[in-house]
Chain A
Amino acid sequence: MLHSAPLHLSGQSGLGKSTLVNTLFKSQVSRKSSGWNREEKIPKTVEIKAIGHVIEEGGVKMKLTVIDTPGFGDQINNENCWEPIEKYINEQYEKFLKEEVNIARKKRIPDTRVHCCLYFISPTGHSLRPLDLEFMKHLSKVVNIIPVIAKADTMTLEEKTEFKQRVRKELEVNGIEFYPQKEFDEDLEDKTENDKIRQESMPFAVVGSDKEYQVNGKRILGRKTPWGVIEVENLNHCEFALLRDFVIRTHLQDLKEVTHNIHYETYRAKRLNDNGGLPPVTTETEENHESNL
């Protein structure tokens, strides 16, 4: 059975998005991860790059699509730089919707909808930037956003805790609901578990690395600096393991469900409303209809 899960990464360039995805793959499964080509120049407009990987573990195959957004937030004027991303997400919903209302629709509709968006926050130690707020405000309405503090090896433990508190407070004050959203907790068990994650661990402070070093006789992923080796999977060093478990091991299915039941339904309802309660009819379906006759 092939699961598919698009994962979307957003944030300014240089925050380690590509490295983190590599780390996610390497730390989990066989060494079949592909290398990413780092962009040499900052692109002029925000680009959307989608790359698909098929990974396997314990007989379960998963098609993971990672969507990167180089160029986000890098220009001098970043007004509306989230629009291409919002447009892309809506396009995927549109595609799915068209397939759904198709007369001769496929048994298994290829799901290219974005299930999760990892937003990378720059570890300034001060607070969120206005750009971060704007992006998350606009996109938390259409996709599950998981805020992540990137390159967290530049903050000491106290700075990390303080920064996280400030970020959480700011998100709350601005009414930004990040995943797991409070309103979608189904039962008490979910609620307590998610509350704990929401109030203590998130946003996850991560460090990514695709290089291995020898520490205490074991080969581990990490970053080697003159003052020590930062172990990526060591919970004392950073929260990468928490993020990985959260996204892939425990909440993957939930992410897909929330996307399908809530975000997609919101989009569908809006589209139907705009169309006067009728499903959108396009030339594509008419052609299919004609060919079927």
Chain B
Amino acid sequence: MGQPRIQEPWGSSPGCQRCITGSRLGWFGHKEPRIWGTLHGTDSSTDLPTRGLSVPAGQRKCPASGEAQGLAETRPRMETLCGEQRTLLGDKEYVGFATLPNQLHRKSVKKGFDFTLMVAGESGLGKSTLIDSLFLTDLYKDRTLLDAQARIPQTLVIERRAVELEEGGVRVKLTVVDTPGFGDAVDNADCWGSIVDYIDQQFEQFFRDESGLNRKNITDGRVHCCLYFLSPFGHGLRPLDVAFLRAVQHKVNIVPVIGRADALTPREVGAMKEKIRQELEENAISIYQFPDCDSDEDEEFKAQDAELKRSIPFAVVGSNDIVRETKEKAFRGRTYPWGAVEVENPAHCDFLKLRTMLVRTHMHDLKEVTQEIHYENYRAQCIQSLSRVGARDRASRMKLSRQSATELPLLPLETEKLIREKDEELRRMQEMLQKMQAQMQQSQGEQSDAL
């Protein structure tokens, strides 16, 4: 069994992920691993080394890539003692809670992970191809493309496609939320309304589930990341892009991406990225920010991290077709009469960077930010409006409830109804209690009379 990644349960910065052995391997290739410490008392079900010895990278398998030289980024934060030190101290100083990450990892792997990714942007920018390339699936194999005439009366629909991926024993349930028809019509005013509604609905569903009685099997349908595709044919952000991004920036993590980047020469890519970054700033649009590296990382790692941040928005090319003719090694790419674009070549496009960032390093951080920032914002807004409703209700019981509902457009009607129902139930129960108490007092009184 491979050694999957787990989240440090205590103290570390968000986005810090490490392999179970605590070793660190480089971004795009493997380095000499530095074992910071191993865990004693391993059991036969997990293949962990029992000594603090460095194991060559080739023998280790990273679940996300499945390759022998793991491309996992790990930032070890080992508070516990390293192997040699522990053996010096002997067993009396060793309690054994260093195996906690191990236990956590086993539980998480059993539970599986889930991730919801939304893709948005005009049609024809290579969104579906990119998703298929990123996750090596064929989610979009059987779709039919509509022609222009059929697209005219269509309103924006939200499509969800779910797929279960497995790699090295780790299961991920990936849901891709697609938005076909976005920006296609002649009049695109408010075509993003249904997308915003969808995101809010997912938050609302989660909120209700969380406040419900049975919380065992909540399915998390919240959108963890939105890949927004910008056109390589424009001169930066279009008015539609700005409007959409403004509408969703505080609800979901936005990762802007330039689709079909093989239309641009390297100089044009650089100019376009610069322009987009500038315009994002001018319009005060907050996109997903990578967490900073910890200060004790080595220089190479920091340099790679900085390079990643500089490359936003990523200019990507997607393809699942394997090209065999040109080079000795087969690669995924697109062939043209003048050459072939390699999808996984960092000199050709930023596909690798996007994949690394989205899947290998920041997937968990995206989920965390969604939970801790976007969802909390929504929840706070919701509760605030609820408490306003509650106060008003108490102040004027005679008023029709319908009035208060219309005064607060923020509050979804169903949650309000639910709260009111619960209030009613409480009142009824209180009345019943009072009745029972009265009865008991009466019966006691009769008994004392009888005596």
Chain A residues in contact with chain B, CB under 8 A? 12-16, 38-40, 42, 74-79, 122-134, 150-151, 153-154, 156-157, 166, 170, 173-174, 223-231, 236-237
Known: A78-B186, A225-B266, A237-B338. A174 touches B233 (CB 8 A): no
Q: Which residues of B contact A122 (CB under 8 A)?
A: 124, 233
Q: How far does the alpha carbon of A41 sit from the alpha carbon of B184 in the complex, in Å?
A: 22
User: In the bound complex, how far is the Cα of B240 from the Cα of A173, in angstroms?
Assistant: 29
Instruction: Point out the residue from A125, A154, A236 that lies within 8 Å of B337, measured CB to CB.
Output: A236
Partner of A76, one of B148, B184, B239, B347: B239
- Flag the segment in B100-108, B165-173, B257-265, B380-388 that touches A: B257-265
30 interchain pairs, CB-CB under 8 A: A13-B235, A14-B233, A40-B235, A42-B238, A75-B239, A76-B189, A77-B186, A78-B188, A124-B125, A126-B123, A127-B148, A128-B148, A129-B151, A130-B148, A130-B184, A130-B185, A151-B263, A154-B263, A170-B148, A223-B265, A224-B265, A225-B262, A225-B339, A225-B341, A227-B262, A227-B340, A227-B341, A229-B338, A229-B339, A237-B338
Interface check B11, CB cutoff 8 A: no
Q: Could you tell me if A166 and B263 are in contact, using CB atoms closer than 8 angstroms?
A: no
Query: Which B residues have a C-beta under 8 Å from some C-beta of A?
Result: 122-125, 145-149, 151-152, 184-189, 231-235, 238-240, 243, 260, 262-263, 265-266, 334-342, 345, 347-348
Q: A14-B234, A78-B186, A134-B186 are in contact. Are A125 and B124 (CB under 8 A)?
A: yes
- Per the bound structure, the CA–CA distance linking A236 and B184 in Å amounts to 32
A133-B148 contact given A42-B238, A75-B239, A228-B336, CB 8 Å threshold: yes
Residues of A within 8 A of B184 (CB): 129-130
Which residue of A is nearest B336, CB measured?
A156
- Name the B residues within 8 Å of A40 (CB-CB): 235
Choose from A14, A78, A125, A228 the contact partner of B338 (Cβ within 8 Å): A228
Instruction: Assess the A76–B336 pair: CB atoms within 8 A.
Output: no
A129 touches B148 (CB 8 A): yes
Is B146's CB under 8 angstroms from A127's CB? yes
Contact B340 A133 (CB under 8 A): no
A85–B311 Cα gap in the complex (Å)? 39
Question: Known: A12-B233, A228-B339. Is A173-B348 also a contact (CB below 8 A)?
Answer: no
B212 to chain A, nearest CB (A): 40
Are B231 and A14 within 8 A (Cβ)? yes
Decide if B124 touches A124 in the complex (CB within 8 Å): yes
- For the complex of A and B, list the 8 residue pairs with the smallest distance between their C-beta atoms, beginning with the closest: A124-B124, A228-B339, A228-B338, A227-B339, A154-B263, A14-B234, A128-B148, A14-B233
Residues from chain B with a CB closer than 8 A to the CB of A38 are 235
With beta carbons under 8 angstroms apart, the residue of A76, A125, A150, A236 that contacts B188 is A76
Chain B residues within an 8 Å CB radius of A75: 239
A245-B329 Cα distance, complex, nearest whole Å: 41
B260 touching A154, Cβ below 8 Å: yes
B366 CB to nearest A CB, Å:
28
Pairwise interchain contact A76-B337, C-beta atoms closer than 8 A = no
When C-beta atoms are compared, the residue in chain B nearest to A174 turns out to be B149
Tell whether A39 pairs with B147 under 8 Å between CB atoms, given A77-B189, A79-B187: no
- When the two chains form their complex, are residues B187 and A74 in contact, meaning their CB atoms are under 8 A apart? no
When C-beta atoms are compared, the residue in chain B nearest to A163 turns out to be: B124
Query: A79–B186 contact, CB under 8 A?
Result: yes
List the B side residues contacting A231 at CB < 8 Å: 338
- Please report the C-alpha to C-alpha distance between residue A228 and residue B262 in the assembled complex, in whole angstroms: 11
Chain A residue nearest to B263 (CB atoms) is A154
Q: CA A155 – CA B323 in complex, angstroms?
A: 16
Q: Let me know if A130 and B151 touch, CB within 8 A.
A: yes
Q: Which of A126, A224, A237 has the most CB of B within 10 A?
A: A126
Most buried by B among A78, A166, A225: A225
Q: Bound state CA distance, A12 and B124, in angstroms?
A: 15
Instruction: For the complex formed, measure the closest distance between the CB of A229 and the CB atoms of chain B, giving whole angstroms.
Output: 6
Complex: A154 Cα to B261 Cα, angstroms? 8
Name the B residues within 8 Å of A132 (CB-CB).
Answer: 148
Known A-B contacts A76-B188, A77-B188, A124-B123; A226 and B347 likewise in contact (beta carbons under 8 Å): yes
Q: How far apart sit A16 and B264, CA to CA, in the bound complex (Å)?
A: 12
Residue of A nearest to B267 (CB): A224
Known: A131-B186, A229-B338. 8 other contacts (CB 8 A): A42-B235, A76-B243, A123-B263, A129-B148, A150-B233, A154-B260, A156-B334, A228-B338
